[in-house]
């Protein structure tokens, strides 16, 4: 294969140019040098911009700071209609994330108590046609009364038994009690931390709870007795958080914790230590607290005792 320098290109068709093999002439080398110098500046500029963009992307990805809860992107069921279950999620945490009532979400997906879900499971978020399931009363058995064959027969009076004195049992056994479901009749709300209120519930904005100020490491206590139905770090912007079920209607939420001390399925009492303050990177001395009734956020100050 032969190559021609640009001094000979004009003579290729009709004159005696001297071809050379695999060696460029001095003039060709000069032309290549000019081209490389011409392209060097823009290439350097482009590589510099690319490096800055990559560094910015790396910093953005490595930034684990928790955005303020008031700035979180609320993804409601009006924006997305399907959720794929991830490891560590519960039906309660998914319902909380999308602002849904957990019983309606379960009914919409044909899930019965205790609402067990699995990673990779597809859940519909359309609860418009679902209703919260009601606990059916135990059926009462009825015994049919015997019918006399003779319609004209008179009723025969039953003999009256003489009352007999009953002797007390020697060792009376205590009756077994069914577990008591927490209701507003047998418990009262209490503050989760001993600290001042620094931000209030706002029904007109995204901030649906309260910020409570307390020093890092302060104990976070259960606001009422109940069961831990979520404990993890899977809810965006909330950090390590807990959801406590107090009744079929009431749930309480404790977010931005430094450390969780209970796990899912634990039964807790009012005032029991659940976690520690200090998980909010932007402010280590506060936690976020929220109460929901039938899936709707409610002002905690209407339920908590006055200070």
Read off the pLDDT of residues 254-300 as tens digits, 9 standing for 90 and up: 999 999 999 999 999 999 999 999 998 889 999 999 999 999 999 99
pLDDT the model gives residue 260: 97
Q: What is the mean pLDDT of residues 124-130?
A: 86
- Low-confidence winner among 23-27, 148-152, 229-233 (lowest mean pLDDT): 148-152
CA distance 245 to 92: 9
The CB-side HSE value for 279 (13 A sphere, CA atoms) comes to 24
What backbone phi and psi angles, to 5 degrees, belong to 191?
-70, 135
For the record, the structure tokens of 102 come out as: 């957990």
Percent of all residues in the chain with a pLDDT value above 90, rounded to a whole number: 45
Query: Distance between the two ends of the chain, CA-based, in angstroms?
Result: 94
CA gap 127, 77 in Å, rounded: 9
- From start to end of the chain, where are the E strands? 82-84, 122-124, 197-199, 210-213, 219-221, 226-232, 241-245, 250-255, 257-260, 267-268, 273-277, 286-293, 296-298
Higher per-residue pLDDT: 62 or 79: 79
**Selection from 286, 235, 245 nearest residue 96 by Cα:** 235
CA dist 253 and 298 (Å) reads 12
pLDDT tens sequence across 205-261: 778 899 999 999 999 999 999 999 999 998 988 999 999 999 999 999 999 999 999
Helices assigned H by DSSP within 63-120:
91-98, 102-108
* Inter-residue contact 272 to 215 (CB < 8 Å): no
d(CA 222, CA 291) in angstroms, rounded, equals 12
Taking the C-alpha atoms of residue 219 and residue 37, their distance in angstroms, rounded to an integer, is 66
Please name which of 113, 93, 252, 99 lies closest in space to residue 187, comparing C-alpha atoms: 252
Q: How far is CA 39 from the centre of its chain?
A: 52
Give the residue from 285, 276, 304, 118 showing the smallest Cα distance to 200. 304
Going by C-alpha positions, the residue among 270, 279, 277, 280 that lies closest to residue 304 is 270
User: What is the model's pLDDT at position 33?
Assistant: 56
Higher local confidence (pLDDT), 79 or 249: 249
Is residue 139 very low, low, confident or very high in pLDDT (cuts 50, 70, 90)? Answer: very low
Which percentage of the chain shows pLDDT scores above 70? Answer: 56
Pairwise CA distance, residues 121 & 271, whole Å: 36
CATH superfamily of this structure's domain 67-127+181-307? Glucose Permease (Domain IIA) (2.70.70.10)
Rounded to whole angstroms, the Cα distance separating 29 from 98 reads 66
Average pLDDT estimate for 128-137: 57
The domain spans of the chain are: 9-62, 67-127+181-307
Give the model's pLDDT for residue 203.
Answer: 75
pLDDT on residue 69? 52
């Amino acid at each position: 294969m032969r190559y021609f320098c640009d001094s000979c290109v004009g003579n290729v068709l009709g004159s005696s140019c001297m071809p050379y093999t695999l060696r460029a002439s001095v003039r060709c080398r000069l032309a290549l040098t000019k081209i490389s110098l011409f392209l060097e500046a823009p290439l350097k500029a482009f590589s510099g911009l690319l490096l800055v963009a990559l560094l910015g992307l790396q910093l953005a990805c490595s930034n684990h700071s928790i955005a303020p809860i008031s700035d979180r992107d609320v993804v409601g069921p009006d924006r997305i209609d399907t959720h794929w279950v991830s490891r560590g999620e519960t039906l309660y945490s998914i319902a909380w994330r999308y602002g849904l009532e957990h019983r309606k979400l379960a009914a919409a997906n044909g899930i019965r108590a205790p609402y067990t879900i699995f990673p990779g499971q597809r859940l519909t978020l359309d609860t418009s046609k679902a209703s919260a399931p009601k606990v059916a009363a135990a059926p009462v058995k009825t015994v049919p009364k015997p019918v006399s064959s003779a319609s004209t027969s008179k009723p025969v009076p039953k003999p009256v038994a003489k009352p007999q004195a009953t002797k007390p049992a020697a060792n009376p056994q205590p009756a077994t009690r069914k577990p008591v479901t927490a209701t507003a009749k047998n418990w009262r709300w209490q503050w989760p931390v001993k600290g001042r209120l620094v931000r209030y519930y706002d029904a007109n904005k995204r901030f649906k709870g309260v910020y409570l100020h307390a020093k890092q490491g302060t104990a976070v206590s259960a606001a009422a007795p109940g069961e831990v139905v979520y404990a993890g770090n899977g809810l965006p912007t909330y950090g390590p958080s807990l959801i406590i079920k107090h009744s079929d209607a009431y749930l309480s939420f404790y977010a931005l914790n430094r450390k969780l001390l209970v796990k899912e399925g634990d039964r807790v009492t009012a005032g029991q230590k659940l976690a520690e303050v200090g998980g909010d990177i932007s402010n280590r001395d506060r936690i976020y607290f929220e109460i929901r009734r039938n899936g709707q956020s409610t002002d905690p100050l209407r339920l908590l005792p006055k200070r």
